[in-house]
Amino acid sequence: MKSFFLALTFLSVIPIPPFFWQGEDRVERALRWFPVIGGLLGVLTFLFFYACKLFLSTKSSFIFSLFFYHLLNGGLHLDGLADFSDAFFGAKKNEMRFKEILKDSHIGVMGVFAIIFYFLSIISLSENVSLSIYFFITLGMSGRTAIVIFATNSRSLFTDGLGRLFIEKSRNVELYFAVFTYLLTMAFSGTFFLATAIVVIIFSLFFKYYILKRFGGFSGDIFGAGCCLVEVLIFILFAGN
């Protein structure tokens, strides 16, 4: 279980005493728990949403819970979305320029625009979504499963960083475990949830193919951007149901 707590330290700001994860020398084992950690973050967000509803309207409660959701992961994926957007729109098909911008910690205009678009689209779509605990679990699990798909049998864009570590050490067994956990949970949630999971997996594979073909590899920031895109996709699918 040390790999579980190690994954929790990677994907959240929840304080975990080192005793629970120190000694786990195979970082790649944490990947198998990514969907489970995502589901846990979804449950915590739903509980926060439910508590807010005791005092606020549904829309206000959702907005607060959305910020809580990203506070739980320390804004990790939003940072990736911003950096990737800056690099994608600023590089103008120049691969070296793309890497330079992606490495820059400063957020540019397109990064700000991407974050604004992310929140506005999700808040707007949420009005047509049934905000049940199953939805929040799906939201949390889908993006983290996508990260496992991106990392496995992939290539690293840089020679350093945590993203490179996951990519180089990832194994198919971690991917199979993560995807099986994701699909099994969605199957128990209902037919529509299972269909949604299949769409997410297909989208993730297409995104992975595009990134590898266009830029030659992934980084932690691209993982985060892909996770956010999957979350927007979840809202679109549920709003259209």
Q: Is 5 helix (H, G, I), strand (E, B) or coil?
A: helix
Contact 150, 207 (CB under 8 A): yes
Contacts with 27 (C-beta within 8 Å, 6 or more apart), sequence order: 6, 165, 166, 169
Rounded Cα distance between 220 and 84, Å, is 10
Contacts with 16 (C-beta within 8 Å, 6 or more apart), sequence order: 5, 8, 9
DSSP 183-225: HHHHHHH-HHHHHHHHHHHHHHHHHHHHHHHHTS-B-HHHHHH
Overall average pLDDT of the 85-105 stretch:
80
Overall average pLDDT of the 14-27 stretch:
64
Residue 5: pLDDT band (50, 70, 90) is confident
The per-residue pLDDT for range 120-146, each reduced to its tens digit, is 999 999 999 999 999 999 999 999 999
Q: So what's the pLDDT on residue 13?
A: 85
> Any bridge partners for residue 156, and if so which?
218
Question: Which of 43-47, 89-93, 198-202, 206-210 is least confident?
Answer: 89-93
Alpha helices in 54-158, H assignment, sequence order: 58-72, 76-90, 95-103, 109-125, 133-151
Q: So what's the pLDDT on residue 3?
A: 78
